[in-house]
Structure 1
Amino acid sequence: MPLKNNKINAISFALSLILGTTFITPAIAQDTLILADAYIDVAKGKSINDAAIIVSNNQIIKVTTATNINNKADYSLIDLKGKTLVPGVMDMHVHLSFDAEDNFLESMNYSVPRQTVKAVKNAQKTLLAGFTTVRDLGASGYSVIATRDGIDAGDIPGPRIWAVGHAIGITGGHCDDNFPAPEAHAKAQGVADGPWEVRTKVRENIKYGANAIKVCATGGVFSKGTQVGAQQMTYEELKSAADEAHMRGLVIAAHAHGTSGIKDAIRAGIDSIEHCSFMDDEAIKMAIKAGTYLSCDIYNTEYTLAYGAANGVPEANINKEKQVSQAQRDSFRKAVKAGAKMVFGSDAAIYPHGDNGKQFSRMVTFGMTPIQALQAATINSAALIKQDNLGQIKAGFMADIIAVDGNPLDNISLMENVTFVMKDGVVYKQL
């Protein structure tokens, strides 16, 4: 740093002699030094004590120990004594434009501008909870794509967002709008029947800014008139969606609770299976062989059963949640034990945004070690969305760094109370 300053001073002095003008030396932005008790090396699966991380602009340029820093005065210092640093965590299944606390049926009539305002609010809540990257798997009117673009432009705070636009599904399926009366002729914007209609919807989403794709392979909990495990999209429809998404360089997810829908989605080349409620041993083996990622939202059941009725969720939907909750957790446990690729996906909006971190404890309760849970939300999620500069505290990676009081490898519930958030080298929270 002093060498850089001396060079600029010398240039300024030389110009002043030549031109007879006095130049004011520009201020030099200092690199940032973050000191903490430890950091989590998610690739090696352990914590490293006496952490010292040097950040320049939005990138980590050095990871070392405090004893190896010769002159701390050369840096803008962030002292996080008593804390452990963790890579900014990722949630691969959120819906930012909806709130669990709102009346379920009334919220379906929100305008797109109203949903966009919701997304802006929830993006900030999600970021402050330590989730620096999310994948939004369905929103009306490209509301979350607009929110993402506002974040990228620096207009509003929020995480990095991979957004699918409209979730694609069949007429009358889980991703259609089935609640209004028939004479309303309601139809969700992602409805498509047949392989070529599905391809068209993929192309339409991409046209309007989607950087990920989602299809609805089976019935679901929060839709009307669908059996939660019944397959809805055919193999041919799923294959056309996967082929089109991959041809355009995008990762594709499939909402799939039921066994046959899960298997056909894997056969079709879908990159991640969402929910995964009724997986048999064959489905898990297929996922492992194909390298398919599994995203299981195993936290939100308690919220739905405790507050769903008060928030206007119909009894039929609550009963469907009761059908899948234990099965989903059993499938999660089996998949972890078998060594399947797992990512962190919480379905935020089914529970309040900002509470995403509460799922970590559930993941450990149902079979993961603390480091496996953190890896699901960091290196595994980064691999799913094909980002080789996210998910680690490592030189050359983006400066997405969070901190908790204590060590989450000793107590994973610490991830529910993130006290420091840096995204892209900018500090958004420090307690």
Structure 2
Amino acid sequence: MNTLKKSTACAVAAAAMMSGYAHAEFSGDVVRIGIINDQSGGFADLSGQGAVVAANLALEDFQKLNSSIEVEIVSADHQNKADIGAQIVRKWFEVEGVDMVADGANSAVALAIQAVAREKNKLVFYAAVGTTDITGKQCSPTSFSWLHDNYNLVAAPVRNLVGQGQDTWFFIAADYAFGRNMVSESERILTEAGGKSVGSIFHPLGNSDYSSFLLQAQTSGAKVVAFANAGEQLVSSMKQWNEFGMNTGPQKAVAELMFLTDIHSMGLETAQGLTGVTAWYWDLNDETRAFAERFFARHGAMPTAPQASVYSSVFHYLKSVAAAGTDATDAVVEKVRATPVDDFYAPGATIRADSKLVHDFYLVEVKEPSEQSKPWAYYNVAKTIKAADAYPPLAESPCPLVNKVAN
């Protein structure tokens, strides 16, 4: 049903901190972390084994700073099936002593995992999960959104383009929780901005022929064709967009969710000019480039935003475990919320009441081939979207954890 991979490390002793762990309590004398994502399908490049590599880099850095806490990382492929993902995570929690799960990499799977984690009172840190329900009506006190949700991804592009007169939109979307939620969020924000949706169409998750969807988008007369899909789906969509000559037509293509590996797969000739929002980019500054070089040496590709966020969430979790002196969920959650998040991924970030990690985002545009100066340097950063502008007001959150009076 799934492949399970395991890596183990014993944290090296740091004499100055030994006494702090003299009475530490860890179930089974080990802290276990599970990385679950798509490792064989259309989202494997953007997350997959690269997320496992990132988690192990976080563990190595934790080892250098902390006393002897034994940590084990396990991983599994959920095959983009909600039932399989839930079964794996349930077994991890009930039988294999896993304390925390990270990534997710599929909204439908994530919602299934969320139900299990809530039942078992276990921690989950989501990376490549778009549905706003995770921190909305399905929020949980032990689950955290570390990367993005669909609001973060669509709000800035919709508002910017409508402000430029690109006010009619048609959506081509993946037919599962992520795609439907993204279209819903887009249409809501589009209406608020004074634009209009002229239609949407949904394709199966494993679809490869987009000709009929593109034809409907073309005949809609929309000024913008927005793709609410990702990974292999986006790559195939954009290749066919170019094959049909739509890249030279009057309509503007917008990738509402695109990853570095998507651009790498389709090539700059195909991807040039695409705009989108990302939570992180490896070529932002010296710190992001330093992590990217370490990651590339292990994985042979530059890290995506989800992979960087897995590093950050695993490292933050382990710091919180060390601060709590236990892997007991309630004690660790308290430290997760109290411990500052300030790393190369999310400098100066905060965790708000609905369990979103609040950080900056970047509006990016894919370079033309002539602009590329080095491998994997695919984006021009058009704008930094400050954290204060990237999230809806907390008072509007449907998350039951939020005290709306306090905002």
Superposition TM-score, scaled by structure 2 size = 0.32
Q: Please identify which structure carries the higher helix content.
A: 2
Please, what TM-score do these two structures have when normalized by structure 1? 0.31
Structure number, greater radius of gyration:
1
